[in-house]
Each structure stands twice: as structure tokens, then as C-alpha cells.
């Protein structure tokens, strides 16, 4: 994974007296080879999260984008006075300047939505995401995990149609984007998607007097699309409310398990979504077919099983099963585990031993010792 390689460059924190970590700065740096403006000077403003021993910087910009600036491309650095966070409207203006012409802005309480489709569709997405955000915070508070309010508006970009979305997404996702209706990017901190009512599955259903919610609710195919959208929005929330920190070594099974726990759609609701922690029928069916004790043990320590197409779907089902079992039956322990990992900052240490130790410290035993109870619990689900 690209991020992992970049992060490796920051592994050695600075010991310099002039350490910039925590400061607000303006940095000039050279654009990366391969970018459209390769070789030219760029500037960014934001907070330094990490300064590496060699002078490389990890900067969080005011709109939430992360910039990784290797020492070799770092130019002049100026310290800036601490300032209040930008408002959604200020973030929006900067975003619109970066997007292709034709985008408009819709701000909700916590989101800044840039769209070039109908305002009605953007409002529908805003309403679903706001409901998700409040459900997400309430859910974890119940178990004593106080999440923080996102420090800045969360950015969502909605393209009018799939073709425009793919053109924009391809440099980031590669060919994988053609299977994906939306994604959360850890570096840009944005969810990018397209208007699902224009997707092939839903084409022809819109029109007449139907609202966006009704059109989506009346299509069985929409369930999977809405689930994907909510899944990506859950990742964004998890990384912006302190559940996980960006670029921290969060095991993939955990971040994916949490996202799958929240993604369950309920199409009886015209919102297209209201389910937190309902049985995820698709994942359960896959789990029944593919559960293996060795795979369960492996997902804890090996993120590669999620990236290898030969094992990915089974690994996701296993991760859903483990997260579902723990969040339903070991609530206090799960909150403890999440809090423990939530304290890990960007680029902190990660190893299989560390992951096993974290798990055992929270759950009082290794995952194999929990497996019989997990199998009993998941097998009786309907």
C-alpha cells in the first residue's frame, strides 16, 4: 500500500530542538514526479503532525488533507500563528477552486458536500451521513467511549455520473475504481462518489414525483450501493472522531469490521439506511461458507489477506464476523480495545506481536480461545 511506503520514510521522529511537530506552518515544497505540476513549487498551510529525523514532514492541511513532504522536496518553512479552524463555507470555497468547473456547495452541520449533480441528491446524501454521524457517536458513547467532534467539516465530493467519477478516481484507485461506487481516501480525507440515481442499476427509476429516497428505496439493487456509501462514510467518521487516528497502525480487520458493522442498509426506511449493527446478511452468508480458524487468527496480524483478490472476500467476511461478535458480546472489552488503539498516533510502531498483545490485553485471551464462542454466536444468527 502506497501510504505504508510513504509512512516508512517518517518512522524516525525528529530529535531536533527546533522540532516543528504541533506547529502551524506554511511550507513550500516541490510537487511530486507524476503529478500534473511535477517539479513546480507548491505551498500548503496546516499543522505539522510529524517531523522526521531527516526533516521530512507530515502536514495536515486545514481542509483535512495530509501532505507527506520528503526532506528532498521540502522548501522554506514559515511558522504561522495558531488560528481557529476554518468554517465549512471557507473550506468549501477552497475545495471548489480545486474541483472541475460546475461544482456547487452544500453544507450541513458536519459535512461540506461538493456536487455537480442535483441539489436534491446532495441533500439526501447529507441527511444520510448526518444520521450516520449521530448514530455512530451515540453507539460508542453507550459503552463509555467518548468520541470527539470532527475538528473540521468532513468533505464529500459527488460527481453527477459514473464516467466523470471514474475519470477523477482512476489516478487514486487504479482499475479497482470501476467496481467501486465510492471511496474514502485516507490522505485527502474525502469521500468521493457519484449520483447513484444515475447508475445503471437505478436508471429509469427516477422521474415523475418520486423523491431520491423513494427511488432508492424502491430498488432492491440500491441496497448494496447504499451500503457501500455508508461503509465509506463510516471510515471517514472513524478517522475523524478519534476512534482511529489517520496513518496509525490500525489493523485492517478492525477498521473494516467497524465499517461493515455500520453499513447494513434498511430499505424500508426511505432514507435507505438506518441500521447499525444489524445482521449483515451478505457477510454472514459468506462467513458460513468460508470461516476457518486459521483465517480468523491470520486477519489479526496480516493485512495482506484483505488486499489479495484470492482471499479478500473471505477475509472481509471473517473480519465482519469477529467485529460483530465482539461488539455484541464483549462490549466493555471492545471499547477498551478501541480506546487503546485510538491512542496510537500516526506512524507509531506496528508488529504482529504488538497486535496480539493488544488483543489479549483487552479480551483476556487470544482469538483462538474465543473461536468456539464466536462460532456458536454467529451460527445461530438469522
From the list 16-24, 74-82, 249-257, 288-296, the region that binds Zn ion by CB under 5 A is 249-257
Q: How far is the CB of 267 from Zn ion (least distance, A)?
A: 21
When asked if residue 230 is in the footprint of Zn ion (CB under 5 A), the reply is no
The residue among 296 and 323 lying less far from Zn ion, judged by its C-beta, is: 323
Q: How far is the CB of 156 from Zn ion (least distance, A)?
A: 16
Which residue, judged by CB position, is nearest to Zn ion in the bound state? Answer: 259
* Cα-based angle 218, 115, 173 (whole degrees, multiple of 5): 90
Instruction: Measure the CA–CA gap between 32 and 15, rounded to whole angstroms.
Output: 27
C-alpha cell at 168: 477523477
When asked if residue 259 is in the footprint of Zn ion (CB under 5 A), the reply is yes
From the list 2-10, 131-139, 258-266, 275-283, the region that binds Zn ion by CB under 5 A is 258-266
Q: How far is the CB of 252 from Zn ion (least distance, A)?
A: 8
Q: Give the number of other Cβ atoms within 10 Å of residue 87's Cβ.
A: 13
The residue among 66 and 259 lying less far from Zn ion, judged by its C-beta, is: 259
Element holding 192 (H helix, E strand): strand 191-194
Question: How far, in Å, are 160, 166, 171, 229, 230 from residue 175 at the CA level?
Answer: 20, 9, 9, 19, 22
Element holding 155 (H helix, E strand): strand 154-159
Q: How far is the CB of 342 from Zn ion (least distance, A)?
A: 18
From the list 112-120, 253-261, 284-292, 327-335, the region that binds Zn ion by CB under 5 A is 253-261
Contacts of 167 (CB under 8 A, 6+ apart): none
Q: How far is the CB of 134 from Zn ion (least distance, A)?
A: 21
The residue among 51 and 256 lying less far from Zn ion, judged by its C-beta, is: 256
Number of residues that bind Zn ion (CB under 5 A): 2
Q: How far is the CB of 256 from Zn ion (least distance, A)?
A: 5
The residue among 243 and 259 lying less far from Zn ion, judged by its C-beta, is: 259
Instruction: Measure the CA–CA gap between 267 and 218, rounded to whole angstroms.
Output: 8
The residue among 91 and 260 lying less far from Zn ion, judged by its C-beta, is: 260
Q: How far is the CB of 231 from Zn ion (least distance, A)?
A: 6
H helices of the chain, in order, are: 2-8, 88-98, 119-142, 162-173, 212-217, 222-238, 252-262, 281-290, 293-301, 304-307, 312-329, 331-342, 352-363, 367-379
Q: How far is the CB of 358 from Zn ion (least distance, A)?
A: 20
Instruction: Measure the CA–CA gap between 76 and 291, rounded to whole angstroms.
Output: 54
The residue among 53 and 176 lying less far from Zn ion, judged by its C-beta, is: 176
Beta-strand pair 154-159/191-194:
parallel
The residue among 29 and 183 lying less far from Zn ion, judged by its C-beta, is: 183
Order of strands across the sheet with 24-30?
66-69, 57-61, 41-51, 24-30, 74-79
From the list 70-78, 201-209, 256-264, 314-322, the region that binds Zn ion by CB under 5 A is 256-264
Residues that bind Zn ion (CB under 5 A): 256, 259
Amino acid at each position: 500500500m502506497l501510504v505504508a511506503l510513504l509512512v516508512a520514510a517518517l518512522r524516525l521522529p525528529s530529535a531536533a530542538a527546533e522540532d516543528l511537530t504541533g506547529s502551524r506552518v506554511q511550507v513550500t515544497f516541490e510537487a511530486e514526479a507524476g503529478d500534473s505540476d511535477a517539479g513546480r513549487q507548491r505551498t500548503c498551510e496546516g499543522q505539522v503532525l510529524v517531523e522526521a529525523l531527516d526533516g521530512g514532514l507530515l502536514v495536515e492541511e486545514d481542509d483535512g488533507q495530509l501532505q507527506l513532504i520528503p526532506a528532498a522536496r521540502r522548501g522554506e518553512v514559515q511558522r504561522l500563528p495558531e488560528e481557529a479552524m476554518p468554517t465549512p463555507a471557507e473550506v468549501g470555497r477552497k475545495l471548489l477552486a480545486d474541483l472541475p468547473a460546475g461544482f456547487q456547495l452544500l453544507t450541513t452541520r458536519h459535512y461540506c458536500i461538493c456536487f455537480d449533480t442535483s441539489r436534491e441528491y446532495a441533500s439526501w446524501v447529507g441527511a444520510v451521513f448526518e444520521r450516520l454521524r449521530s448514530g455512530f457517536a451515540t453507539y460508542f458513547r453507550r459503552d463509555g467511549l467518548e468520541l470527539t467532534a470532527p475538528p473540521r467539516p468532513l468533505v464529500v465530493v459527488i460527481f453527477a455520473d459514473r464516467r466523470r467519477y471514474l475519470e477523477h478516481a482512476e489516478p487514486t484507485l487504479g482499475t479497482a475504481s470501476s467496481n467501486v461506487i465510492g471511496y474514502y481516501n485516507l490522505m485527502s480525507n474525502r469521500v468521493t462518489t457519484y449520483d447513484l440515481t444515475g447508475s445503471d442499476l437505478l436508471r429509469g427509476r427516477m422521474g415523475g414525483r418520486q423523491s431520491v429516497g423513494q427511488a432508492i428505496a424502491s430498488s432492491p439493487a440500491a441496497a448494496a450501493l447504499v451500503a457501500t456509501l455508508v461503509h465509506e462514510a463510516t471510515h471517514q467518521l472513524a478517522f475523524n472522531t478519534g476512534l482511529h487516528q489517520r496513518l496509525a497502525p490500525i489493523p485492517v480487520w478492525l477498521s473494516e469490521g467497524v465499517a461493515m458493522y455500520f453499513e447494513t442498509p434498511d430499505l424500508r426506511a426511505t432514507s435507505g439506511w438506518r441500521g447499525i449493527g444489524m445482521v449483515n446478511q451478505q457477510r454472514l452468508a459468506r462467513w458460513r461458507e468460508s470461516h476457518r480458524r486459521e483465517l480468523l487468527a491470520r486477519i489479526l496480524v496480516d493485512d495482506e489477506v484483505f488486499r489479495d483478490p484470492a482471499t479478500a472476500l473471505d477475509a472481509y467476511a471473517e473480519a465482519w464476523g469477529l467485529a460483530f461478535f465482539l461488539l455484541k458480546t464483549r462490549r466493555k472489552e471492545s471499547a477498551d480495545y478501541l480506546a487503546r488503539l485510538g491512542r496510537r498516533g500516526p506512524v507509531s510502531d506496528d508488529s504482529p506481536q504488538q497486535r496480539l498483545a493488544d488483543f489479549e490485553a483487552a479480551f483476556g485471551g487470544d482469538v483462538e480461545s474465543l473461536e468456539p464462542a464466536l462460532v456458536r454466536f454467529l451460527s445461530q444468527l438469522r
